[in-house]
Structure 1
């Protein structure tokens, strides 16, 4: 029977508030990357509130936003081969489930092969999990059981460790989640998942990366004509007011910029203060020109990811590339 388990999601407001105080308002001192770069950041989980998720669902269907479409094409092309790596009775934990159109071909292949598996969409948004469950129901997959996990990645891994026993587990990072960070921070995240989530030689991680280096293609995908990405990012800042119980953010105070950099190839949104902004309840002052980073999208290729895997003590077992694009899927496990 399909169900959604609260493995920590009931504390989402407190979770996001703590992240905002740490990464944006520096309540515990400057927030830095492991390399020592200080930055003020709007946490991604704040962007994906209920309204944000509705906007995101629309974004994934845009012609200009190639990633979801090309990830789905890759799975359509390679699902039979991918399914051979998944053992019967495995637990598939989908880290940040989002729109599962891109995963459906693999679930259909497993079902056709009569490989009974437990699919666990994991997300901080209960609505996102419910949508994933409804999508699997609509696909009529009798060999696929579904249990939603409402909580953070850490909550999901902890649940797996307590409930999966000896069943093989595969962590799915299909939204360019793992590896999507500055090198040292991305490696640290991989080390964490390897050391806490991979318990046996049968456990695996399947991750997706976008190795596109084409500046125009990347920038266009984040700057749609309908302005949905602009609305998504601004909605995240608006939602931060509700999370904090403090109207620190006013749209007219902040300019939304887009930045593209090389080495590594990365696109990010930046909010820049138009003038001095006082936040007395947070004991914070933003000066004119101060910036807040959000929604960073790193474009690492397989060779760059191989460096991350080596540093994290992880071995790449298999690699698939989309038929007509730069999306890659990498299957990794303990070195």
Structure 2
């Protein structure tokens, strides 16, 4: 009996590493030293997203209080065809892709438009990339899938450019940057695009502060666990002896800045040692450390920021809570 031919083996998605573990650690050393020794202590939210933090964030997106993910997914389902037509993209590049759950809606629309050839997922977490990309490679065999381990604040101009790109920055993540950081990011992003390429932003809108606070302080405590996870990152990466149970999770609305702040508040007077920074830290009971801002937007404000960065607003889709904004590089 002739042998049954085996099924062809599909190559695993390519993984391009721009952010080496040593570079990530160097960034953490710098950011932790600056933030932990400041008069008002802070930590950048990028360090939430180790593999455990990425999984916790996926849990957050399914919480009843966290409307953003559902709203954004519904907008993509309703308007992906319009976005595909306006962008004419041959490649979808997704910054902070995580599990790439919503990506299929854009990929489907771009594929239907007949232009799509490549999907490039960019994330700081290799673990989040591996699973998502293997699934997409099976679901979209005609699309070349590439993962890039990178920091989107540092590596924008090094990202692959396999064709005319639509760069998607979804999930309201732009709001984690303060106004000066956003200006630098958008200018750098625009500078790395060629004429006719485009950017798709998902932005959360200003609304009732009670709804906003609830979205960042859920009843099940998942966001609290996500917030405290950054202390576990410091313990593991820098040899620190933070006890996450020594800190309460706090979410507050800053009406003047129009952003949510997530903080960690010391439950008692305590001392923390960070050997890799040769730091001994004293926290007073009630002292807070800011771990994230999440800015909320108004249409006129975000469009003005895009224009200042050299991008031309070309599409706005909203349900009143959340918005998708398309901008082109002239």
Q: TM-score, normalised by structure 2?
A: 0.86
Give matches, 1:268-279, under 5 Å: 268-273=261-266, 274-275=268-269, 277=271, 279=273
- Residues 89-147 of structure 1, C-alpha deviation per residue, up to 9 Å, x if partnerless? x3322110023222211111222333232111101101111132134235x22432210
**Structure 1 residues not aligned, in runs of 5+:** 31-37
Q: Does 1:25 align with 2:19?
A: no
Q: Specify whether residues 223 and 45 from structure 1 end up closer, same or farther in structure 2 by C-alpha distance, changes over 3 A only.
A: same
Q: C-alpha separation between the residues in 2 aligned to 1:313 and 1:39? A: 34
Contact 1:266/1:298 (8 A) holds in 2: yes
Secondary structure at 2:130 match in 1:
helix
Q: C-alpha separation between the residues in 1 aligned to 2:66 and 2:257? A: 21
**Bigger mean CA deviation after superposition, 6-15 or 73-82:** 6-15
Q: 2:302 aligns with which of 305, 315, 326?
A: 305
Structure-2 residue corresponding to 1:147: 146
Q: Specify whether residues 189 and 40 from structure 1 end up closer, same or farther in structure 2 by C-alpha distance, changes over 3 A only.
A: farther
Give matches, 1:1-335, under 5 Å: 1=11, 2-11=13-22, 12-22=24-34, 24-26=35-37, 30=38, 39-87=40-88, 90-138=90-138, 140-154=139-153, 156-160=155-159, 163-164=160-161, 167-195=163-191, 197-198=192-193, 200-247=194-241, 249-273=242-266, 274-275=268-269, 277=271, 279=273, 281-322=278-319, 325-334=320-329
- Residues 271-309 of structure 1, C-alpha deviation per residue, up to 9 Å, x if partnerless? 223325354731544344432101221111211212322
Contact 1:75/1:103 (8 A) holds in 2: no
Q: How many residues align?
A: 314
Q: Specify whether residues 181 and 10 from structure 1 end up closer, same or farther in structure 2 by C-alpha distance, changes over 3 A only.
A: closer
Contact 2:315/2:326 (8 A) holds in 1: yes
- Residues 180-217 of structure 1, C-alpha deviation per residue, up to 9 Å, x if partnerless? 4332332222122222x22x212221111011411222
Post-superposition shift, 1:156?
Answer: 4.2
Contact 1:59/1:65 (8 A) holds in 2: yes
TM superposition outliers: structure 1 runs of 4+ over 4 Å: none
Report the RMSD for the aligned CA atoms in angstroms.
2.3
Q: C-alpha separation between the residues in 1 aligned to 2:20 and 2:171? A: 20
Secondary structure at 1:116 match in 2:
coil
Q: C-alpha separation between the residues in 2 aligned to 1:194 and 1:10? A: 27
Q: TM-score, normalised by structure 1?
A: 0.85
- Of structures 1 and 2, the larger Rg is shown by 2
**Structure 2 residues not aligned, in runs of 5+:** 1-10
Secondary structure at 1:147 match in 2:
strand
